Amino acid sequence: MSATGLHPVFGSASGPRIAHRLAHAGGLSDCRAALGAAASGDVRDVDIPPDDDTVAEPESVRAVESARIHRRRDALARGVTDDQIRRMCAGGRWRRLRRGVYSEEAIYAELDAVARHRMLAAAVLPEMAADAVVSHQSAAAIYGAPIWAAPMDRLCVTRNRSNGGRIKPDLKVHCTPIDAVAEVDGLLLSTPARTILDLGRTVSFESAVVAGDWLAREYGVTTTDLEVELTAANRRRGIERARQVVKFLNPRSESVGESRSRVMLRDLGLPIPQSQGDVFTAEGRFLGRVDFYFGDTGVVGEFDGRTRYGRRAHPGYDPVDTAAAERRREDALRNTGFHVIRWVWDELPTDAVFGRFRVALARVGRQRPQGHIRPSSLPEPSPLLIRSL
């Protein structure tokens, strides 16, 4: 994975173009492609028709709008006037992201909170010092981790210094020691392990677990990696909360719903299950994979993030066929003696699942399943360039 230096590439003539691509990036792979395309100048001009109540606008305005992040200084250099910028904002065509930086309202309105945060990063980073490290939930979002109920109104960066932290409406600067960073095509991000630790200290337990499970799975974060970060942050605020998050993480979790389900079971006082197990009959025949299992008790759990039987339907699959296959799989599990408990999104914030698990676990020992469960294998971690700061 190559690196091209940090924010100078954002501050170059291609800066607005890079910002446009970053705002739409879904994660690092898209972000890399975006930065590469912007650096090579591969950006197509887009002609945008004038508003109905105005005369045709100059070519300078249409040329500037080929990017989705618009900087005042670049617009002025292309012949757009301050009066035109004011009229585009007043008319609902552009939206002010911060002083001197704008986006197209039509595009901004279609973005979710995480995508808007990436757009904010594209707006803010070119004006930051070159040693600013994107961190906390901002780093998690750029990595592509799911963000659940964490504040996304400010870009979070960390500076490797003892003081100078500040909070602005769209920016939060943390000043703490940081020894290593991930370097990705012109961006410095806190490492996945450091990002997990920072989230554990600063956001809710559930939010930190949702992003942390994903980061640990995607980048192969180990217990040793996290222990190193815990030791380094021993005296920082929120460290005890971070310890609880680190202890609870499970890289086998495959979705936001599965991570939240584990937190729900913990909050209900139930035993914490193991995640992602491959189920076999006594003869060794594979029956399927389950989301959760409680050791050798025979009690297994299934989180259904779509419909009752629509688990992990891939694009192009017939929902009816998928539902039928899911029922057959569950029937096979039950016929082998496993007790299957299923729940859906609407049940996550409630204790509706508690009674089902309590009854099932109380029956453990009366009849053992005629089969066994093995932990499923983890995927190969994605490569990432880590270097000392």
Res 310: pLDDT: 38
Q: Would you call 354 exposed, middle or buried from its count of C-beta atoms within 10 A (0-12, 13-18, 19+)?
A: middle
pTM: 0.81
Q: Which of 57-61, 203-207, 234-238, 283-287 has the lowest mean pLDDT?
A: 57-61
Query: pLDDT-derived band of residue 368, with 50, 70 and 90 as boundaries?
Result: confident
Query: pLDDT-derived band of residue 179, with 50, 70 and 90 as boundaries?
Result: very high
Q: Which of 256-265, 317-326, 357-366 has the lowest mean pLDDT?
A: 317-326
The separation between CA 178 and the C-alpha centre of its own chain, rounded to angstroms, equals 22
CA-based radius of gyration for the chain: 25
CA angle, 286 then 288 then 291, to 5°: 140
Q: What is the percentage of the chain residues whose pLDDT exceeds 90?
A: 67
Two tokens, residue 188 = 């410095």
Query: pLDDT-derived band of residue 108, with 50, 70 and 90 as boundaries?
Result: very high
Q: Would you call 320 exposed, middle or buried from its count of C-beta atoms within 10 A (0-12, 13-18, 19+)?
A: exposed
The predicted-structure confidence for 294-338, as pLDDT tens digits, reads as follows: 999 999 999 988 644 334 445 565 667 777 888 899 999 999 999
Cβ proximity of 152 and 141 under 8 Å: yes
Res 79: pLDDT: 95
Count the helix, strand and coil residues of the chain and give each as a percent rounded to the nearest 5. Answer: 40, 20, 40
Res 35: pLDDT: 36
Res 1: pLDDT: 39
Q: List the domain boundaries for the chain.
A: 8-120, 128-253+382-388, 256-375
Query: pLDDT-derived band of residue 235, with 50, 70 and 90 as boundaries?
Result: very high
- Of the two residues 314 and 219, the one the predictor is more confident about is 219
Strand partners, 275: 292
Q: What is the mean pLDDT of the chain?
A: 83
- State mean pLDDT over 382-388: 95
The predicted-structure confidence for 123-147, as pLDDT tens digits, reads as follows: 999 999 989 999 999 999 999 999 9
Q: Looking at the domain that runs over 256-375, which CATH code has it been given?
A: 3.40.960.10
Report the helix count and the strand count for the chain, using DSSP H and E.
Answer: 16, 15
> What DSSP string runs through 20-60?
HHHHH--SHHHHHHHHHHHHHT-------PPPTTSPPPPHH
